[in-house]
């Protein structure tokens, strides 16, 4: 058994920030190279701190869905996973044994050598009729892509293969539309391949063709075609799976994680009798299970939107009834007016999508093996813009937590709140919170920013 964890940044406010990670994870699942593919995020659930708990095997390969080295790949991800590593990750990755699991942490996918071929495929597919030897290939990166030099390395590999008339690297700087970026290009026909994971760097960003000064396929007297970003190419998942599998060729293959298996066995036994979990209710119907918001219990199915895929359910419950993003899935704003119908095989993935990590954490809580992390320990671990939360007084943390956590089903074990039962022992809304989530950490930081400095000391 082998688990692949795809790590994205996610967002506390924008539900679309995680879409590229979800898309590639779905493609990886369809390839079937790994027993399971799990998405994890810095600012959404399942969080990086929950990543190893929610994986079902003892062999875990972690791939950061980032194109460049940087703060997240070098500092945040290894720190949150507890790898005891800081700094650039070598090409072969780093391996650790954590809690009985062999964990391999690989560098960002932008460094994988196979990405050169995906970049070439992007360019060729954007200009299928053109003779590539007459075309200039421009690889366009965000300025942060300079870190690690991966973009330059891909350009050099493609240059040496002599498939294009020329290969240039361009960074998306301010005022690019007015800069003479085309002056250095000799060929009359140009294809630009964005070294991005998704179509927009932000919702507010203008289309790339506008940033590049391209109008009706022309710029500076040349024909310019902007290809879809490399992160959206259908060949990316296969390349990524192949690289991740190569990294596991060390003769080791994992077993089923015993605690994970026991937790889900218990959950399924309860589900077969009907179970209330948080704001949801699971009802067995023959060989299938009906999952819905408990407030819609008893409503005729015809009045609800029915989902039969985990992805359909996931995309629905990632926003509330007003369309607002739900970065913390245990917030008490589960949307209504839907039902999801799953077989016994698919029900665990559906519950994972609905309430990530709750089954594993509730089970461990019942076994008295869920270790909570007190606030001072969580705060000390923070770096970068979040390091300032270390200055928060206990009363300030409590003030923010009362406001934020009152919206959440979870009980704060990390603040010594008692939780004698969970939904596994008959209390639907009883879900443990082992440590402060990044949403709360961000709220504490904002709270401090609103206070004069002397109040924070
Ligand atoms: Fe919920 Fe608060 Fe725990 Fe975050 S810290 S998961 S908001 S209880």
**What is the percent of the chain where pLDDT is above 70?**
95
pLDDT band at 394 (very low <50, low <70, confident <90, very high): very high
Q: Please tell me if the CB atom of residue 431 comes closer than 6 angstroms to any atom of ligand 1.
A: no
Q: Please tell me if the CB atom of residue 439 comes closer than 6 angstroms to any atom of ligand 1.
A: yes
Ligand 1 centroid to 404 CA: how many Å?
7
Q: Is the pLDDT of residue 174 over 90?
A: no
Q: Which residue, judged by its Cα, is nearest atom 4 of ligand 1?
A: 437
Are 103 and 96 contacting, i.e. CB atoms less than 8 angstroms apart? yes
**What is the percent of the chain where pLDDT is above 90?**
85
d(CA 44, CA 42): 6
3-state secondary structure 365-422: HHCCCCCCCCHHHHHHHCCHHHHHHHHCCHHHHHHHHHHHHCCECEEEHHHCCCCCCC
d(CA 367, CA 389): 32
How far is C-alpha 77 from the chain's CA centre?
11
Q: Please tell me if the CB atom of residue 433 comes closer than 6 angstroms to any atom of ligand 1.
A: yes
Kindly report the average pLDDT of the chain as a whole number: 93
pLDDT of residue 274: 97
Ligand 1 centroid to 82 CA: how many Å?
20
Cβ-based neighbours of 125, under 8 Å, separated by 6 or more: 227
Bridge partners (DSSP) listed for residue 323:
none
Domains of the chain: 3-111+236-258 (3.40.50.1400), 115-232 (3.40.50.1400), 259-356 (3.30.1360.190), 360-456 (3.30.70.2320)
Ligand 1 centroid to 134 CA: how many Å?
57
Q: Please tell me if the CB atom of residue 434 comes closer than 6 angstroms to any atom of ligand 1.
A: no
Cβ-based neighbours of 93, under 8 Å, separated by 6 or more: 104, 105, 106, 107, 247
pLDDT of residue 251: 59
Residue-wise pLDDT tens digits, 339-385: 999 999 999 999 999 999 999 999 999 999 999 999 999 999 999 99
Q: Please tell me if the CB atom of residue 330 comes closer than 6 angstroms to any atom of ligand 1.
A: yes
Cβ-based neighbours of 413, under 8 Å, separated by 6 or more: 365, 370, 372, 419, 432, 433, 434
pLDDT of residue 441: 98
Atom of ligand 1 nearest to the CA of 401: 2
First vs last C-alpha separation in the chain: 50
pLDDT of residue 182: 84
DSSP classification of residue 73: I
Residue-wise pLDDT tens digits, 48-99: 999 999 999 999 999 999 999 999 999 999 999 999 999 999 999 999 999 9
Q: Please tell me if the CB atom of residue 441 comes closer than 6 angstroms to any atom of ligand 1.
A: no
Q: Is the pLDDT of residue 100 over 50?
A: yes
ipTM: 0.99
Give the least confident one: 32-41, 126-135, 137-146, 165-174: 165-174
d(CA 11, CA 294): 27
In the sheet that holds 101-105, the strands lie side by side as 36-41, 3-8, 59-64, 101-105, 94-98
Q: What is the chain's length?
A: 457
Q: For a ligand 1 pocket test, name from 439, 441, 443 the mutation site with the most ligand atoms within 8 angstroms of its C-beta.
A: 439
Are 338 and 304 contacting, i.e. CB atoms less than 8 angstroms apart? yes
pLDDT of residue 453: 47
Q: Is the pLDDT of residue 175 over 60?
A: no
d(CA 8, CA 269): 33
d(CA 78, CA 100): 17
CA proximity to 256, closest of 28, 100, 364, 50: 100
d(CA 139, CA 131): 18
Q: Please tell me if the CB atom of residue 440 comes closer than 6 angstroms to any atom of ligand 1.
A: yes
Atom of ligand 1 nearest to the CA of 330: 1
Q: Is the pLDDT of residue 199 over 80?
A: no
Q: Please tell me if the CB atom of residue 410 comes closer than 6 angstroms to any atom of ligand 1.
A: yes
Strands 288-293 and 36-41: unpaired
Residue-wise pLDDT tens digits, 291-325: 999 999 999 999 999 999 999 999 999 999 999 99
Q: Which two tokens stand for residue 44?
A: 């959404």
Helix residue ranges per DSSP H, 37-178: 51-54, 71, 77-81, 115-126, 150-160
pLDDT of residue 209: 84
CA proximity to 4, closest of 20, 17, 26, 18: 26
Q: Is the pLDDT of residue 242 over 50?
A: yes
Atom of ligand 1 nearest to the CA of 410: 8
d(CA 162, CA 164): 6
Peptide bond before residue 46 is cis, with ω within 30 degrees of 0: yes
Q: Which residue, judged by its Cα, is nearest atom 7 of ligand 1?
A: 405
pLDDT of residue 220: 86
Are 140 and 193 contacting, i.e. CB atoms less than 8 angstroms apart? yes
pLDDT of residue 457: 41
Averaged pLDDT, 409-438: 97
Q: Which residue, judged by its Cα, is nearest atom 6 of ligand 1?
A: 437
d(CA 38, CA 7): 9
């Amino acid at each position: 058994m082998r688990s692949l964890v795809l790590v994205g940044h996610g967002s506390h406010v924008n539900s679309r920030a995680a879409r590229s990670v979800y898309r590639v994870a779905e493609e990886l699942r369809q390839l079937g190279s790994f027993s399971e593919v799990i998405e994890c995020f810095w600012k959404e659930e399942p969080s990086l701190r929950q990543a190893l708990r929610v994986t079902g095997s003892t062999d875990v390969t972690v791939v950061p869905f980032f194109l460049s080295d940087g703060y997240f790949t070098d500092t945040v991800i290894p720190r949150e996973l507890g790898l005891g590593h800081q700094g650039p990750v070598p090409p072969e990755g780093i391996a650790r044994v954590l809690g009985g699991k062999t964990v391999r942490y690989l560098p960002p996918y932008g460094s994988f050598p196979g990405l050169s071929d995906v970049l070439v495929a992007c360019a060729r597919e954007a200009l299928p009729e053109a003779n590539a030897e007459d075309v200039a290939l421009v690889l366009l990166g965000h300025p942060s892509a300079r870190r690690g030099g991966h973009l330059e390395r891909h350009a050099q590999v493609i240059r040496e293969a002599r498939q294009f008339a020329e290969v240039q690297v361009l960074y998306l700087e301010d005022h690019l539309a007015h800069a003479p970026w085309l002056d250095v290009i000799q060929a009359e026909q140009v294809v630009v391949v964005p070294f991005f994971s998704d179509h927009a760097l932000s919702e507010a960003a203008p289309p790339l063709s506008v940033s590049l000064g391209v109008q009706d396929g022309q710029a500076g007297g040349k024909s310019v075609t902007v290809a879809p970003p490399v992160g959206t190419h259908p060949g990316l998942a296969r390349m990524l799976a192949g690289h991740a599998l190569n990294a596991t060729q060390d003769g080791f293959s994992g077993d089923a994680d015993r605690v994970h298996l026991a937790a889900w066995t218990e959950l399924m036994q309860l589900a077969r009798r009907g179970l209330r979990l948080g704001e949801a209710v699971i009802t067995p119907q023959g060989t299938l299970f009906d999952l819905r918001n408990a407030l819609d219990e008893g409503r005729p199915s015809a009045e609800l939107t029915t989902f039969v895929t985990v992805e359909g359910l996931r995309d629905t419950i990632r926003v509330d009834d007003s369309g607002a993003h739900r970065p913390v899935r245990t917030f008490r704003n589960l949307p209504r007016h839907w039902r999801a119908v799953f077989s016994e095989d698919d029900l665990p993935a559906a519950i994972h999508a609905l309430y990530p990590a709750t089954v594993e954490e509730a089970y461990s809580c019942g076994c008295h093996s869920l270790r909570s992390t007190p606030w001072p320990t969580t705060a000390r671990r923070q770096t970068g813009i979040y390091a300032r939360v270390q200055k928060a007084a206990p009363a300030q943390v409590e003030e923010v937590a009362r406001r934020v956590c009152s919206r959440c089903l979870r009980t704060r074990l990390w603040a010594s709140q008692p939780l004698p039962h969970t939904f596994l022992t008959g209390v639907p809304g009883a879900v443990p919170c082992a440590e402060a989530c990044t949403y709360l950490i961000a709220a504490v930081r904002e709270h401090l920013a609103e206070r004069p400095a002397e109040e924070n000391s």
